[in-house]
Structure 1
Amino acid sequence: MIFIENEGNTNPRLNLALEEYILRNFDPADDYLLFYINEPSIIIGRNQNTLEEINHQYVDENNIHVVRRISGGGAVYHDFGNLNFSFITNHDGKSLSNFKKFTAPVIKVLQSLGLNAELKGRNDIEVEEKKISGTAQFSTGKRMVSHGTLLLDTDLEEVVKALNVKMEKIVSKGHKSVRSRVANISEYLTQPLEIEEFRRLLLEGLYEESEPFERYHLSLKEWQEVHRLKEEKYDTWDWNYGRSPKFNIQRSKRFPIGELDLRIFVEKGHIQEFKIFGDFFGKEPLESLEKFFIGTRYEKEDISAILKNMDIKEYFGDISKDDLVELVYGADVVDSNL
């Protein structure tokens, strides 16, 4: 395992660009570990509709960064009290969605600090039924990134103000509010702990779980490439917000794999636009699925035919084709423009 120094950068766009650059360009014979701390920011999941996940006025007034990441899952709030970790490794097909494998060493370190931490639900680390960490994954070919947050001393009131979290998600977790379902690690420590000391303890704990780490500092040329990726992708409105589709049908439902939110524009009985949003985890890019619906009759049998020979689990995780068809085409849809 090689530990990559991010040189104390706190710009979320730069840190996410660094993470992706390592994933796509560093020697695949090695595994890498990256830590970073971000300025106040909202990090949006790859498949989410940004404008509906944030409190836009509050974000603008408080100069909070809004950045989309390459992995799926839900939106999260970062600030100087939150430590982010990222494992960049090979995968054998079985590692994808295996959050237990990648969170186990982190949980062990948390337990050594006296926390009764455990992996719960799809991808959360919890203490006493409260979330202290969320994780996500993304893969390209044989490489993957498994990354997560660790809420040491985050301003949780800012989480509530900056994010628009849907009630369905809160209820599915058995809580009445965002604030009631999240907690800081500091709440469970017997002694105060600064973020840099927490970073050091976590790194030392992870050292013990692996062969001796190497430390690596990027070269000037490599940093130039990271900055170029930041400017061409993570600084752009298209990546962070994207186009909000024209639609006259919206259908959403929360499944065990997460929420699916469909925006469909149907004109003269045919699908003209088709966009999928959500906080689910999938391997394949949604664009390659969405395009098959364009031009198709908005009829149940036609929609079923599109999906007949597709492995939709590659896009969403464990969901049945019948469930997806029912979500796309429901009997309760009524629109005079169809």
Structure 2
Amino acid sequence: MRPIVLATTDPALNLATEEWLLRHTDRDVFMLWRNAPAVIVGRNQNTLAQIDEAFVRERNIPVVRRLSGGGAVFHDLGNVNFTFISLDSAGGGLDFQRFTSPILAAIAALGVPCAFEGRNDLVIDGRKFSGNAQHIWRDRVLHHGTLLFSAEVADLSGALRVSAAKYKDKAVKSVAKRVTNIASHLPAPMDVTDFMDRIMDHVCAGRPRGDLSLTPDEARGAAELAESRYRRYDWNFGASPAYALTRSTRTPGGVVEAHLDVAGGVIRAVRLLGDYFGRRDVAELEAHLAGCRHDRDALAQCLKGVVLGDYLLGVGPDELIDCLF
């Protein structure tokens, strides 16, 4: 099994590296990596339904969709991610305990009692410190998980907090659980890089370590995949299942109640109700918005040249766009 430690903390590039290795590696892989603050959503999720859009926008936190299913997670530099890539999927089924067992053993060796719980979680005293997900490609399996070591829990809850009533769809929802940091349970203090070294030593015990970096071809392939998939709106937001959004917002021009139907990341239909005033039929504005990407920049571009006051007196472009998220 080949050990790898990724030097970058770019979430799009790190997720692209996982996929590139899954498709091209000729050896089993165990990889450790960290991301700068980011929200990572599951393959089958409605991205906007998982995040506090205002929170991540104000803090410029990237949102990236991963290859595997499961729920949304918040990453920062206090969270260590681990990845196993096996060339043998062992029958083709999902098997979380196969890959989490060595991680549990490594944590226990640090003096922290821990256990596997539910479908895919690792816990300390019933509090979650690791969520896990898998993706099978041909006869290969990618298993990855989080290890909350010293993560900012307030940012974690803030980035993922969203009104359950706002979005109506059939996508997979994240389930909130009480979480804990591994560092809080260690018998003696340890920094995150030392923790990563200990995990790597335990999982790869008895195997030669050698160079832990990617080859130039691997790095180049991952960078190309990041550009073509993991940095694109079409993948991170447009790949969401169809959903409906309802939001009522008080604006300087009165209450605006927005109802949107979105599919493929594109607004298919919109209704703007409320107690606002206007001299032109708002149906014209609704028709103009239909077909626009459900994205703030795209909506701002769509509204350029539109005299909003004709339809929604006292409501500017920024207020209307806020109504649509």
How far did 1:93 drift?
4.6
Q: 1:224 aligns with which of 220, 223, 229?
A: 220
State the alpha-carbon separation in 2 of the partners of residues 123 and 13 from structure 1. Answer: 23
**Partner of residue 133, structure 1:** 130
One-letter code aligned to 1:16: L
The answer to whether the Cα contact below 8 Å between 2:45 and 2:240 also exists between their aligned partners in 1 is no
One-letter code aligned to 2:201: E
Q: Secondary structure at 1:181's aligned position in 2?
A: coil
In 2 relative to 1, CA 193–20 (structure 1 residues): closer, same or farther, beyond 3 Å? Answer: same
Question: Deviation per CA, 1:261-318, whole angstroms, max 9, x where unpaired?
Answer: xx999xxxxxx9xxxxxxxxxxxxxxxxxxxxxxxxxxxxxxxxxxxxxxxxxxxxxx
Q: 1:237 aligns with which of 224, 233, 237?
A: 233
**Partner of residue 319, structure 2:** none
State the alpha-carbon separation in 2 of the partners of residues 247 and 55 from structure 1. Answer: 16
In 2 relative to 1, CA 211–238 (structure 1 residues): closer, same or farther, beyond 3 Å? Answer: same
1:35 lines up with 2:17 in the alignment? no
Q: Secondary structure at 2:98's aligned position in 1?
A: helix
**Partner of residue 105, structure 1:** 102
**Partner of residue 4, structure 2:** 4
Superposition map of 1:35-74 within 5 A? 35-74=32-71
State the alpha-carbon separation in 2 of the partners of residues 185 and 245 from structure 1. Answer: 35
Superposition map of 1:184-223 within 5 A? 184-208=181-205, 211-223=207-219
**Partner of residue 21, structure 1:** 20
The answer to whether the Cα contact below 8 Å between 1:55 and 1:162 also exists between their aligned partners in 2 is yes
How far did 1:164 drift?
2.8
How far did 1:203 drift?
0.6
One-letter code aligned to 2:22: L
The answer to whether the Cα contact below 8 Å between 2:46 and 2:237 also exists between their aligned partners in 1 is yes
User: RMSD value over aligned CA atoms?
Assistant: 2.7
In 2 relative to 1, CA 108–82 (structure 1 residues): closer, same or farther, beyond 3 Å? Answer: same
One-letter code aligned to 2:148: L
In 2 relative to 1, CA 185–216 (structure 1 residues): closer, same or farther, beyond 3 Å? Answer: closer
The answer to whether the Cα contact below 8 Å between 2:74 and 2:156 also exists between their aligned partners in 1 is yes
One-letter code aligned to 1:2: R
The answer to whether the Cα contact below 8 Å between 1:88 and 1:146 also exists between their aligned partners in 2 is yes
Unaligned segments of structure 1, at least 5 residues: 168-176, 250-262, 266-271, 273-338
How far did 1:137 drift?
0.2
Q: 2:147 aligns with which of 146, 150, 174?
A: 150
How far did 1:225 drift?
1.6
Structure 1 residues 136-145 or 86-95, which shifts more?
86-95
**Partner of residue 86, structure 1:** 83
State the alpha-carbon separation in 1 of the partners of residues 124 and 60 from structure 2. Answer: 31
How far did 1:25 drift?
1.0
How far did 1:99 drift?
0.8
State the alpha-carbon separation in 2 of the partners of residues 97 and 13 from structure 1. Answer: 25
State the alpha-carbon separation in 1 of the partners of residues 11 and 84 from structure 2. Answer: 17
One-letter code aligned to 1:25: H
State the alpha-carbon separation in 2 of the partners of residues 18 and 247 from structure 1. Answer: 30
State the alpha-carbon separation in 1 of the partners of residues 4 and 122 from structure 2. Answer: 24
One-letter code aligned to 1:224: R
**Partner of residue 280, structure 1:** none
Superposition map of 1:145-184 within 5 A? 145-164=142-161, 178=176, 181-184=178-181
Q: How many residues align?
A: 241
The answer to whether the Cα contact below 8 Å between 1:2 and 1:215 also exists between their aligned partners in 2 is no
State the alpha-carbon separation in 1 of the partners of residues 65 and 223 from structure 2. Answer: 16
How far did 1:215 drift?
3.7
The answer to whether the Cα contact below 8 Å between 2:89 and 2:136 also exists between their aligned partners in 1 is no
How far did 1:218 drift?
2.7
Question: Deviation per CA, 1:161-219, whole angstroms, max 9, x where unpaired?
Answer: 1003688xxxxxxxxx94x61110011112221110000010111122x6444545333
State the alpha-carbon separation in 2 of the partners of residues 83 and 40 from structure 1. Answer: 12
One-letter code aligned to 1:218: L
How far did 1:5 drift?
3.6
How far did 1:158 drift?
0.7
Q: Secondary structure at 1:46's aligned position in 2?
A: coil
The answer to whether the Cα contact below 8 Å between 1:52 and 1:164 also exists between their aligned partners in 2 is no
TM normalised by structure 2 equals: 0.68
The answer to whether the Cα contact below 8 Å between 2:135 and 2:142 also exists between their aligned partners in 1 is yes
**Structure showing greater Rg:** 2
**Partner of residue 120, structure 1:** 117
State the alpha-carbon separation in 2 of the partners of residues 243 and 31 from structure 1. Answer: 29
State the alpha-carbon separation in 2 of the partners of residues 244 and 25 from structure 1. Answer: 27
